[in-house]
Structure 1
Amino acid sequence: MERQLILLREQVKLARDVYAAMSTRWNTPMFQHAAAVEGPHMASVKLLLDWYRVDDPVRANPPGVFSDRRLQTAYSHLIAQGTPSLEDAYKTGAAIETELITLLLDLTGDSCPRDINLIAQALLTSAQSNLASFTRLVDRQRGSLADGRERRSSLSTTLVGAGSGSWSTR
């Protein structure tokens, strides 16, 4: 459980930091909103770390700096991936949310303490909402295709490559 909380804290920071960078680069409401909501999410996870007396991996790390070297590498990769175009930036956001959802699903259920489960459920709902928003925005950037299922299938294929655990530390 401790390892998962540490990972969650840094992955939420990763999301916040990438979204803040994409907000600066693209100046879109989605990235502004996503970066803003990740701050309170980080605070929620910090409360759990404090409660369970787990050292905070984030400490006073500035944006873009991570204790886990894999997440440090991931940050650089995600920034590079989201910089060429707004569509690429939205795909990057969707990949981040997909990774967060996978981690959060591991923290929900009967085997987790109730306090962790409640916070994980709230973060999961937010991540699912963000994923849906990023998916819609990717579709808008691509223009409408004749068949909505084809759009979803195309994005799913993209996300499998982008968020396939290549930067996960699970």
Structure 2
Amino acid sequence: MNNQFRLDAIMEQILSPRFMQDRHQHRTEHMAAIRQRIQSHTAQALSAEEEHDLLHMCEEEKIARDVYLQLGERWALRPLVNISGAEQAHMDAIAALLTHYDLPDPAQGLAVGEFRTPDFQTLHNQLVERGLRSELDAIKVGLLIEELDIFDLVEARSRARQPEILAVYDDLERGSRNHLRAFFRHLQRHRGEYVPQYLSLSDFEAVAWSEREEC
């Protein structure tokens, strides 16, 4: 079963057909707008940092998607299943930038749970192992992934110069903030506690307690 079929199969078990249809249409239209925005700019030479950040974010978004897919199969929690689809959209957005700049896609051809970079492979394995312990642990893994994503996107944005890259990073960061809010709501329902690992407590709480953003 390829990655997209696996994602669709899991989502069909949990989400209503109408919700899936609406969500798919929204993501398709949103991705088309992102590609159009990227293609409206002429590809300029990137700095070594910009190239590294794009490749890094590609694998980091794959970690999010792959971990959520596997934990979603085990726990069938709605945020895991729904957000795994959003992470696929994040991967597609980064892939569009890689194509625009003629850079190799480090996620291409790899199955769920496979990574080219050893550090990402190790992190993936650790997160899956942790998240399989319980539903609460899976929620905490989701929070960890999203705050790492936000932290790295902020750093990458500070080094980016190209408007199309900045636009995609902004879009992904909004999405990650929404994902963090979703996992935080489930943490509250489970009466769990979580200590931020990458964001400061004030930055984490500023996101967690704020309203959902349109993206």
Name the structure 2 match of 1:112: 161
User: Which of 95, 113, 116 is 2:144 aligned to?
Assistant: 95
The structure whose RCO (Cα within 8 Å, separation 6+) is larger is 1
Shift of 1:138: 1.1
Q: For 2:120 and 2:159, locate their aligned partners in 1 and report how far apart those are by CA, in whole Å.
A: 29
> Is it true that 1:58 corresponds to 2:100 in the alignment?
no
Name the structure 1 match of 2:189: 140
Q: For 1:93 and 1:65, locate their aligned partners in 2 and report how far apart those are by CA, in whole Å.
A: 19
Q: For 1:31 and 1:63, locate their aligned partners in 2 and report how far apart those are by CA, in whole Å.
A: 15
Per the alignment, in what secondary structure is the counterpart of residue 67 of structure 2? helix
How does 1:19-30 map onto structure 2 within 5 Å?
19-30=68-79
How many residue pairs end up in the alignment?
A: 150
The runs of at least 4 consecutive aligned structure 1 residues that moved more than 4 Å come to none
Shift of 1:112: 2.3
Q: For 2:161 and 2:151, locate their aligned partners in 1 and report how far apart those are by CA, in whole Å.
A: 15
Partner letter of residue 124 of structure 2? Y
Shift of 1:108: 2.5
Compute the RMSD of aligned alpha carbons: 1.6
Partner letter of residue 24 of structure 1? E
Question: 1:103-147, CA deviations, whole angstroms, 9 ceiling, x for partnerless residues?
Answer: 11123358521000101001000000101111121121126xxxx
Q: For 2:152 and 2:56, locate their aligned partners in 1 and report how far apart those are by CA, in whole Å.
A: 8
Q: For 1:109 and 1:72, locate their aligned partners in 2 and report how far apart those are by CA, in whole Å.
A: 26
Q: For 2:107 and 2:58, locate their aligned partners in 1 and report how far apart those are by CA, in whole Å.
A: 7
Distance 1:86 1:78, change over 3 A: same
Name the structure 1 match of 2:61: 12
TM-score by length of 1: 0.83
Name the structure 1 match of 2:86: 37
Question: 1:59-116, CA deviations, whole angstroms, 9 ceiling, x for partnerless residues?
Answer: 2000000011000001110001111111100000000001110111123358521000
Q: For 1:86 and 1:112, locate their aligned partners in 2 and report how far apart those are by CA, in whole Å.
A: 40
Partner letter of residue 97 of structure 2? L
Name the structure 1 match of 2:131: 82
Per the alignment, in what secondary structure is the counterpart of residue 97 of structure 1? helix
Q: For 1:64 and 1:85, locate their aligned partners in 2 and report how far apart those are by CA, in whole Å.
A: 19
Partner letter of residue 142 of structure 2? G
| Same amino acid, percent of matched pairs | 28
Name the structure 1 match of 2:171: 122
